[in-house]
Amino acid sequence: MNILNIRSHILFDITTFTNPDNAMYGTEYKLIDELYHIPLIDYNLLERYIYYPNDTMYVSSRKWGGVDTEECGDINSTCNSFEHAVLKQTTADRTPTNLQSGQHIVYTFISVCEMHVNQPYRTEADIFMLDEATTDEISEATEHGSVYFDENGEMEFSNQDYLQIKKIGGVDYSSIKGVNQIVRFHSINIVHITTKQAKYLLKLVESKDQINYGRNLELTIENWTFLQNITLDKATNFSLLRTEPFLSLRMNVSIFNFKGYNAYIEGT
């Protein structure tokens, strides 16, 4: 349906209630391997353009998979890029106004076959999860969804809240206790590409300046595989996880069922 690009040709306003007798229909002619789902026949196109407000975003970077629109993000209308999906999440990230509000923020990104991360990413959410689409959600889902860390792709998490590091509006928030954070990566294939500049994928930053006001950080990696791009002429050693400058008692790292070659953990 994405190839029709109907939004660039037709102006329309859709609510969650559409009239099936007054809609536009289309049929897909690509193969399952290209679409990553059973080809749709006489499908109501307008259902793909119903606004999707959520903090759980489905992303597919496959050519016939996702498309970045105002409405993308659900299982039937995935976003194309991780960067666009970040902008679409409903709940705003932690700010000075909601730091002490008690609001629970959970961000979830789900790779539908393939997702690319091509920019540094950091969040102050209580829980951040990176997961795969399952066969319960998509019958053609592969064993693990893949996440490609492209040239500038990396993720950083810290025991120090971003607001404690940067003065926002000239106000010093260093004495405000940060919110504990849980980071979970589950059942995905991680792919490192050849042109990547940074020599790591994940970075945990420990700040000794926030002994009394730092937060607890829990990282869990489960059912991961790590691959290097097949275009590499020669495999290189690569840091899957870097700690700067060291791990502390406020950080808990758990790794279960990890398979990979030429990848290591850097730090103490």
The token duo for 251 is 């950080």
Per-residue DSSP letter, 37: S
Assign 24 a pLDDT band (cuts: 50, 70, 90).
confident
Query: Residue 59: its pLDDT value, please?
Result: 93
Q: DSSP letter for 34, please.
A: H
- Determine if the peptide bond prior to 245 is cis (ω within 30°): yes
Distance CA 145, CA 222 (A): 13
Average pLDDT taken over every residue of the chain:
77
pLDDT digits (tens, 9 = 90+) for 85-116: 999 999 888 776 666 666 789 999 999 888 99
Cα angle 267-188-114, degrees, rounded to a multiple of 5? 120
Q: Which residue from 159, 158, 177, 211 is spatially nearest to 102, judged by alpha carbons?
A: 177
The answer to whether residues 124 and 181 touch, using CB atoms and an 8 Å cutoff, is: yes
Report how far residue 187's alpha carbon sits from residue 238's, in angstroms, rounded to the nearest whole number: 20
pTM reported for the whole predicted model: 0.79
Q: Distance between alpha carbon 190 and the CA centroid of its chain, in Å?
A: 12
Rg of the chain in Å (alpha carbons): 20
